[in-house]
């Protein structure tokens, strides 16, 4: 059985890795974008971004000073037995990582703005659990800086607005965000479900590696269409103009009420920090990055 201290230590390590190096697919995409760009300013921005990644990795320092707020997606097999509180253990890991990695003290009371020294509090970190069969345990971590988080949008479209309306809403979100979310961004979109599930799907879509195909052919076409249109907006890296505004568009959908069409968009900055760990041979192992 998985022991609590081992689990907490593995999650602390997962946070450290996520904060200090990017997944291979993201690095590959950034290098590709640098080559694609024709503008001198855009190429200049990419060269600094890539240099920054080398410095962060070499020194073991966080890539960005905004070490973000953390979201964990947990897939847990129904046969798995834990003799500890998973939520408590994740909170403890965040608290330890705050001093050890270190993480910036980002979490505050929403009204009084008083800092919470451990980066934990009501609802922090966010933990979304999904129960599955077997003995599986998979944890996906997303690190979200506020530049990207602040540019997210949720909208209740009317059902007749359909695919066209969804496409327009996503593109408007990207256009209005401009350089603020640190483009090129990964665009996560949640279509359908409820108000809250559309937002969670938009975030979950960001855990999918770049370059992997959406299993749904219709969503795949929509992803491609939005990606092409977004890259024609001339926002470019850091909003300074260019032909690369998004690294990819990832869409998830869920069934919804006949009278509703909820759509959520979550943008993820170019420093698209994420990690994945799985339970293997009784301990939690990091698989990415």
Partner 1 sequence: MSPITLTPPLSENDVRRLRAGDVVAITGRIVTARDRAHARIVSGKRPPLDLEGGIVYHCGPLAKRIREGWRIVSAGPTTSARMERLQAEFVRRTGIRAIVGKGGLGEAAGAVARLGCVYLTFPGGAGALAAESVERVERVYWMDLGEPEAMWVLRVKNFGPLLVAIDTAGNNMYERRVRC
| Site for partner 1, rule CB under 8 A | 41, 44-45, 48-49, 51-52, 55-56, 59, 61-67, 102-106, 108, 113-115, 145-147, 150, 171-172, 174-175, 178-180, 182, 232-235, 237-241, 269-271
8 A C-beta contact, residue 170 and residue 205: no
Closest distance to partner 1 from the beta carbon of 85 (Å)? 29
Closest distance to partner 1 from the beta carbon of 135 (Å)? 38
The DSSP H or E segment spanning 63 is none
The whole-angstrom separation of Cα 176 and Cα 210 is: 23
| Tokens representing residue 18 in the block | 């996520």
> Treating both helix axes as pointing N-terminal to C-terminal, what angle do 24-36 and 40-59 enclose, rounded to 10 degrees?
150
Closest distance to partner 1 from the beta carbon of 18 (Å)? 14
Closest distance to partner 1 from the beta carbon of 7 (Å)? 26
State the Cα torsion 150-153-154-160 to the nearest 10°: 180
Closest distance to partner 1 from the beta carbon of 122 (Å)? 18
8 A C-beta contact, residue 264 and residue 192: no
Q: Are strands 69-77 and 126-132 parallel, antiparallel or unpaired?
A: parallel
Closest distance to partner 1 from the beta carbon of 176 (Å)? 8
Q: Which is nearer to partner 1, 96 or 278 (CB)?
A: 96
Q: Which is nearer to partner 1, 36 or 146 (CB)?
A: 146
Check the CA dihedral 104-115-144-71 and report its sign.
positive
The whole-angstrom separation of Cα 272 and Cα 22 is: 7
The β-bridge partners of 124 are 121
The whole-angstrom separation of Cα 140 and Cα 200 is: 13
Q: Which is nearer to partner 1, 91 or 273 (CB)?
A: 273
């Amino acid at each position: 059985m998985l022991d609590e201290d081992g689990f907490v230590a593995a999650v602390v390590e997962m946070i450290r890795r996520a904060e200090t190096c990017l997944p291979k697919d993201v690095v590959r995409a950034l290098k590709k974008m640098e080559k694609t760009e024709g503008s001198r300013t855009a190429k200049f921005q990419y060269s600094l971004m890539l240099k920054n990644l080398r410095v962060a990795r070499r020194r073991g320092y966080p890539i960005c000073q905004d070490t973000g707020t953390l979201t964990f997606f947990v897939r847990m097999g129904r046969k798995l037995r834990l003799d500890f509180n998973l939520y408590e253990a994740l909170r403890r890991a965040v608290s330890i990582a705050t001093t050890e990695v270190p993480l910036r003290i980002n979490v505050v009371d929403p009204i009084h703005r008083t800092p919470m020294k451990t980066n934990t509090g009501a609802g922090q970190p966010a933990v979304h659990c999904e129960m599955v069969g077997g003995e599986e345990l998979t944890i996906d971590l997303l690190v979200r800086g506020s530049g990207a988080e602040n540019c997210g949008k949720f909208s209740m479209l009317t059902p007749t607005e359909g695919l066209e309306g969804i496409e327009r809403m996503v593109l408007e979100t990207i256009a209005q965000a401009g350089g603020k979310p640190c483009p090129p961004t990964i665009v996560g979109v949640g279509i359908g479900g409820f108000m809250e599930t559309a937002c969670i799907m938009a975030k979950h879509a960001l855990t999918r590696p770049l370059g992997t195909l959406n299993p749904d052919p219709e969503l795949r076409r929509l992803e491609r269409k939005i990606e092409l249109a977004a890259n024609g907006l001339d926002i470019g890296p850091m909003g300074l103009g260019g032909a690369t505004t998004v690294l990819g568009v990832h869409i998830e959908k869920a069934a919804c009420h006949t009278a509703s069409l909820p759509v959520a968009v979550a943008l993820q900055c170019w420093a698209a920090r994420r990690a994945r760990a799985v339970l293997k041979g009784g301990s939690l192992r990091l698989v990415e990055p």
